[in-house]
Structure 1
Amino acid sequence: MGWEIHTAKTAFAQFAEAWDQLNASLYDGHPLFDSRFIGPLLDHFGTGDERLCIHRTDAGLSGALILYRGRIGGWSSFHPSQLQATPVLLADATVLETLFAALPGAPWTIELYAVDPRYAPDFSRLTLPQIVTAHVYTIGIQPAEQFTDYWNGRSRNLTKNVRRYFRRAQEEAPPVPLSSFCDTVDMGACVARYGALETTGWKGKAGTAIAAENEQGAFYREVLGRFAATGQATVYELHLGGRLASSRLTISSDRMLIILKTTYDESMARFAPGRLLLYRLIEEQFALPGRKTVEFYTNATSDQQEWATFGCTLQNIQLFRGPLNAVMFAVSRACRQRLRSIRGEMPVEDSPTTGVASCRSIDDLRAEQYDLGEFMTTDNVEASTNWFELLQNKVYPLDPGVRFYITAGKKRPRVILPLRLTTNGSARTIESLSNYYTALYAPLVARDGELLDVQSLLTAAVHDHKGAQVMRFGPMDPDSDAYSALFSGLRANNWIPFRFFCFGNWFLRVEGTWDDYLKKRRATLRSSIRRACKKFAAEGGTLAIVTTTEQIEQAIAEFQAIYSASWKKPEPYPEFVPSLIRHLAVRGMLRLGFARLGEQTIAAQLWIVGGRKASIYKVAYHEHFSAYSPGTLLTAHLMQHVIESDKVEEVDYLIGDDEYKRRWMSDRRERWGIVAYNPASLLGFALLVKEVGGRALKPTYQRMRALCRRVWTRISAPGPKEEG
Structure 2
Amino acid sequence: MTVYHADLREAQADPALAALLGRSPTSAPFDRLDWLSLLAEHCLLADTCKIAVARDGDALAVLPFQKNPDGTGPLGTWYSFFVRPLTNAPQRAPELFAALARSLAPAGAARLAPMPEAEALTLAAAFRTASWIGVAEPCDTNHILELKGRNFAQYWSARPGALRETVRRKTARGKVNLRIETTFIDADWAAYEAIYARSWKPEEGNPAFLCAFAQAEAAAGALRMGIAEIEGQPVAAQFWTVEGGTAWIHKLAHDEAYRAHSPGTLLTAALFRHVIDEDHVHTVDFGTGNDPYKRDWMEVQRPRYALQFYRPAAVGHWPALARLAARRMLRPSSQPALVSPEAAG
TM-score, length of structure 1 as denominator length: 0.43
Alignment of 1:140-155 (within 5 A): none
Shift of 1:573: 1.8
Letter in 2 for 1:529: V
Matched, 1:630 2:273: no
Name the counterpart of 1:595: 228
Name the counterpart of 1:527: 165
**C-alpha separation between the residues in 2 aligned to 1:442 and 1:592?**
27
Shift of 1:633: 0.7
Matched, 1:439 2:81: yes
**C-alpha separation between the residues in 1 aligned to 2:326 and 2:116?**
26
**C-alpha separation between the residues in 2 aligned to 1:670 and 1:366?**
31
Name the counterpart of 2:145: 508
Letter in 1 for 2:47: P
- Ranges in structure 1 where 5+ consecutive residues have no aligned partner: 1-353, 700-724
Matched, 1:414 2:60: yes
Letter in 2 for 1:684: H
Name the counterpart of 2:335: none
1:384 and 1:444 in contact (8 A); partners too: no
Shift of 1:500: 2.4
Name the counterpart of 1:394: 42
Letter in 1 for 2:12: R
- Ranges in structure 2 where 5+ consecutive residues have no aligned partner: 333-345
Shift of 1:367: 4.6
Shift of 1:593: 0.5
**C-alpha separation between the residues in 1 aligned to 2:189 and 2:88?**
33
User: SS of the counterpart of 2:183?
Assistant: coil
Matched, 1:356 2:13: no
**Equivalent of residue 98 in structure 2, options 455, 460, 468:** 455
2:20 and 2:87 in contact (8 A); partners too: no
**Equivalent of residue 616 in structure 1, options 222, 246, 249:** 249
Letter in 2 for 1:526: R
User: SS of the counterpart of 1:548?
Assistant: coil
Alignment of 1:658-673 (within 5 A): 658-673=291-306
Shift of 1:458: 2.1
1:546 and 1:555 in contact (8 A); partners too: no
Alignment of 1:57-456 (within 5 A): 355-360=2-7, 362-367=8-13, 372-378=18-24, 379-396=27-44, 398-408=45-55, 414-423=60-69, 428-446=70-88, 450-451=92-93, 452-456=95-99
Shift of 1:369: 6.7
Shift of 1:399: 4.6
Identity, % of aligned positions: 29
Shift of 1:698: 5.6
Shift of 1:682: 2.5
**Equivalent of residue 325 in structure 2, options 692, 699, 703:** 692
**C-alpha separation between the residues in 1 aligned to 2:113 and 2:145?**
22
Shift of 1:592: 0.9
* CA displacement 1:538-559 (0-9 Å, x = unmatched): x3x210111124xx33332222
**C-alpha separation between the residues in 2 aligned to 1:561 and 1:635?**
19
**Equivalent of residue 572 in structure 1, options 202, 205, 211:** 205
1:371 and 1:413 in contact (8 A); partners too: no
2:66 and 2:75 in contact (8 A); partners too: yes
**C-alpha separation between the residues in 1 aligned to 2:64 and 2:141?**
24
Q: Which has the higher contact order (CA 8 A, sep 6+)?
A: 2
User: SS of the counterpart of 1:654?
Assistant: strand
User: SS of the counterpart of 1:382?
Assistant: helix
Shift of 1:685: 2.5
**C-alpha separation between the residues in 2 aligned to 1:503 and 1:515?**
31
**C-alpha separation between the residues in 2 aligned to 1:642 and 1:374?**
26
TM-score, length of structure 2 as denominator length: 0.88
1:414 and 1:448 in contact (8 A); partners too: no
Aligned CA distance change for structure 1 residues 595 and 694 (closer, same or farther; 3 Å): same
Name the counterpart of 1:639: 272
Compare CA radii of gyration and give the structure with the larger one.
Answer: 1
Matched, 1:675 2:308: yes
**C-alpha separation between the residues in 2 aligned to 1:367 and 1:524?**
53
**C-alpha separation between the residues in 2 aligned to 1:562 and 1:555?**
10
Counting matched residue pairs gives 329
